[in-house]
Amino acid sequence: MPLDKSSPNLDALLLATLLEIELSDRDRRVAKKRYHYIPEHLQRPSSPLRTYMDDAVVYAQGSRAIGATIVHGADEDRFDLDAVLEFPRPMGWSISRVLDELHAAFEGFPDVQHIERCTRCVQLQFAFMHLDVTPMDPATEPRIERVGAIYHSPDNGNDELFDVNPYGFATWFNGSVSPPTLAFQKQLKDMREQIVQRDRFISTTFRADAEIEDLPVETHPLRDAPQVISLKLMKRFLNLRYAKRKEKRPISVYLSKVAAQVPLNLNGLCSQLEDLAAALAQRMVNAIETGVWPAERNPALLTENFNDRWPTSIQEMVMFRDDLEHLVYELQRARRSEFVEIRNIFRGLFGETVTESAVRSYLSQASNPTGQSRFQPGKGFVAAPALISPARTGAANAPKAVPHSFHPGRLKK
């Protein structure tokens, strides 16, 4: 897949932004160790769940399962890892008790700063990272692979069970996304090899890994698929838009499904991101006009509605539609703008610190021998583009994302 045929340097700047919000290799290793330590900790002799963990299964879900994890915290640079803990509900246990006992069982987890019992998961909060563990009661055999019910226990309202298949969705997603060309993979590989990413973790206290299914391979080609890249950039954009809002933001799995359904745009990354925004905006327009709210189903389990808790009002859909239309408008404006204005546009879309770091590296690669950059309106940034390799000079230049105010499943205080 080439860079955007009409705005090649705009695509290059989007790639620079992408690399600024990705995790370092060490960050991934630490996250993986924490994931692997889940069963060992729950199987310790003092664990309230010890006798129920012999046949338990742990596996990744959400962004980690499809290669779409990004840094999106505020000044903490936080990222999230989601896991499913599959084990049969003990006889006589209520829905709320499962979550309560899991919360208690995680006490003493290495390096954890706070443990929060949410409506559908238990969240382990570390420096720079949250690990959300969702318990699931496997369906009665014979069953579709890894189909089960998750527990919903809010502070106000009734306890419920919801049939889900996160494993099936990840399998569907990875089979639906168009893989990038070898040339495009090489471009991104070369860029990653030239950057020095800041490690968020300095030390860990983990012992031997437990016997457990490995996380999906982080470096699989779909991490660089245009649909996945557009999804990461969309998530970054929405994190900033919802940072200071009280309204709930659309959940990531909904965005992920639509991203996989948007056809590959051969014109490049900017066009791919515009297509994703347009597809989501059209869904909002249809829902607002018809009064039929979006009930996005899991292709691997049609009874599972991804939007069972969003939107909660017409106003939330209008807000989301307006955000998407703003994104498309700003990208279109960037195509025909001068350098200073493009810089301001990207600050507003993806954050000031990330943009400044990406722009510095971009300019260092795109300058002519005299040190003067060659700008050309209508080509997205400069003429005669060169692939950039974002340079990091230390923690001061680390990307800072603003967090969204909505955490799916968190109990209200």
pLDDT (tens digit per residue) in 256-266: 999 999 999 98
pLDDT of residue 175: 95
Angle between helices 8-20 and 352-366 (to 10 degrees): 130
In a domain, 179, yes or no: yes
Print the SS3 string covering the chain: CCCCCCCHHHHHHHHHHHHHCCCCHHHHHHHHHHHHHHHHHHCCCCCCCHHHCCCCEEEEECHHHHCCCCCCCCCCCCEEEEEEEECCCCCCCCHHHHHHHHHHHCCCCCCCCEEEECCCCEEEEECCEEEEEEEEEECCCCCCCCCEEEEECCCCCCCEEEEECHHHHHHHHHHHCCCCCHHHHHHHHHHHHHCCCCCCCCCCCCCCCCCCCCCCCCCCHHHHCHHHHHHHHHHHHHHHHCCCCCCCCCCHHHHHHHHHHCCCCCCCHHHHHHHHHHHHHHHHHHHHHHCCCCCCEECCEEEEECCCCCCCCHHHHHHHHHHHHHHHHHHHHHHCCCHHHHHHHHHHHHCHHHHHHHHHHHHHHHECCCCCECECCCCCCECCCCCCCCCCCCHHHCCCCCCCCCCCCCCCC
The answer on pLDDT for 358 being more than 60 is yes
Q: What is the mean pLDDT of residues 318-344?
A: 93
- Average pLDDT, stretch 293-299? 95
- The answer to whether residue 100 sits within a structural domain is yes
**What percent of the chain clears pLDDT 70, i.e. is strictly above it?**
77
Give the model's confidence band at 195: pLDDT under 50 very low, under 70 low, under 90 confident, else very high. low
pLDDT band at 31 (very low <50, low <70, confident <90, very high): confident
Kindly tell me if the per-residue pLDDT of 248 is higher than 50: yes
Residue 158 lies in a domain: yes
Q: What is the pLDDT of residue 364?
A: 61
For residue 75, pLDDT over 80 is answered with no
Give residue 292's pLDDT band: very low, low, confident or very high (50, 70, 90): very high
Q: Is the pLDDT reported for residue 73 higher than 70? A: no
Measure CA of the first residue to CA of the last residue in the chain; give whole Å.
48
Give the pTM.
0.84
- Say what the pLDDT of residue 359 is: 78
- Give the confidence band of 187 by pLDDT, cuts at 50, 70, 90: confident
The arithmetic mean of pLDDT across residues 60-72, rounded, is 88
Q: At what angle do helices 8-20 and 182-194 cross, to 10 degrees?
A: 50
Q: Give mean pLDDT, residues 181-191.
A: 80
In a domain, 409, yes or no: no
User: pLDDT tier at 72 (50, 70, 90 boundaries)?
Assistant: confident
Question: For residue 404, is it within any domain?
Answer: no
Q: What is the overall mean pLDDT for the chain?
A: 81
277 pLDDT above the threshold of 80: yes
Percent of the chain at pLDDT exceeding 90:
54
pLDDT attached to residue 395 = 36
More confident residue, 13 or 361: 13
Kindly indicate the confidence band of residue 29, based on its pLDDT and cuts at 50, 70 and 90: confident
Please indicate, yes or no, if residue 145 is contained in any of the structural domains. yes
What would you report as the CA-atom Rg of the chain, rounded to the nearest whole angstrom?
22
Q: How many domains does the chain have?
A: 1
pLDDT tier, 234 (very low <50, low <70, confident <90, very high otherwise)? very high
pLDDT of residue 380: 43
Residue-range definition of the domain harbouring residue 388: 8-397
Question: 137 or 370: which carries more pLDDT confidence?
Answer: 137
Least confident of 75-84, 224-233, 282-291, 377-386: 377-386
Angstrom CA distances, 239 to 2, 72, 358, 401, stand at: 28, 7, 19, 8
Q: Is position 1 within any domain?
A: no
Give the count of alpha carbons within 13 A of 413, CB side only: 2
Residue 59 located in a structural domain: yes
Among 7-16, 54-63, 71-80, top mean pLDDT goes to: 54-63
pLDDT at 171: 95
